[in-house]
Chain A
Amino acid sequence: GESVGLHLPTLSVQEGDNSIINCAYSNSASDYFIWYKQESGKGPQFIIDIRSNMDKRQGQRVTVLLNKTVKHLSLQIAATQPGDSAVYFCAEGETSGSRLTFGEGTQLTVNP
């Protein structure tokens, strides 16, 4: 499944499938990007980040892809599990700045 960031706030996948969550960012000067996961009733939790000198970065079961040409960021979750059900949102910022701009988020639901 694929989510188009702010325009499709929900994504439903089957357990074991790969998930792709997308984010379109607005500031062409942004050079630092982060993905957060927020479970129900909890604060956001850092997942992975990437700087603009990279196109791809991998973590444990997660991969972030950055396409600066079209100002697009995606989070890929491999072998999605029920515990991955949460809201995922991206954040962008300039390393010369002092704040992040957060997207609205995408609700990921993993069906058993």
Chain B
Amino acid sequence: DVKVTQSSRYLVKRTGEKVFLECVQDMDHENMFWYRQDPGLGLRLIYFSYDVKMKEKGDIPEGYSVSREKKERFSLILESASTNQTSMYLCASSLRYFTDTQYFGPGTRLTVL
């Protein structure tokens, strides 16, 4: 089974802090994704990566950056956290093609005070 793990289930940070969310997948998938999930808005794509050191902006990249130094690991960075970034963050990975199934991690619920 594909396993996607995220570094924290719950995280509380203060406004202005730098926040790192990490995601690791164990199935040698090429694609990795970061989404945020908010009530009434569904899942929205922040960034994705289709290869090591490659990244593409999603629909809502403002205020975020990403890093993919190794194939299995994809990090989401909030350079200066703000209260409107309080959300559930979900990481996903897929094998190679766009239509390959995306496997999700359990999510990190981030609260920014």
Chain A: residues with CB nearer than 8 A to chain B? 32, 34, 41-46, 49, 51, 89, 91, 93, 95, 97-100, 102-105
Check A89–B42 contact: CB distance below 8 A. yes
Given contacts A95-B98, A98-B56, A102-B43, contact A46 B48 (CB under 8 A): no
A51 vs B97: C-alpha distance when bound (angstroms): 14
**CB-based contact A43/B42 at 8 Å:** no
Verify if B58 is at the interface (C-beta below 8 Å from A): yes
The 8 closest A-B pairs by CB, nearest first: A43-B104, A102-B43, A102-B42, A104-B42, A44-B104, A46-B101, A43-B106, A43-B105
| B interface size (C-beta, 8 A) | 24
* A43 x B98 contact (CB < 8 A): no
State A42–B106 Cα separation when bound (angstroms): 5
A90 to chain B, nearest CB (A): 10
Q: Is B110 an interface residue (CB 8 A)?
A: no
Q: Which residues of A contact B99 (CB under 8 A)?
A: 32, 49, 51, 93, 95
Report chain B residues within 8 Å CB of A41. Answer: 106
Whether a CB of chain A sits under 8 angstroms from the CB of B112 is no
Residues of B near A45 (CB, < 8 A) are 104
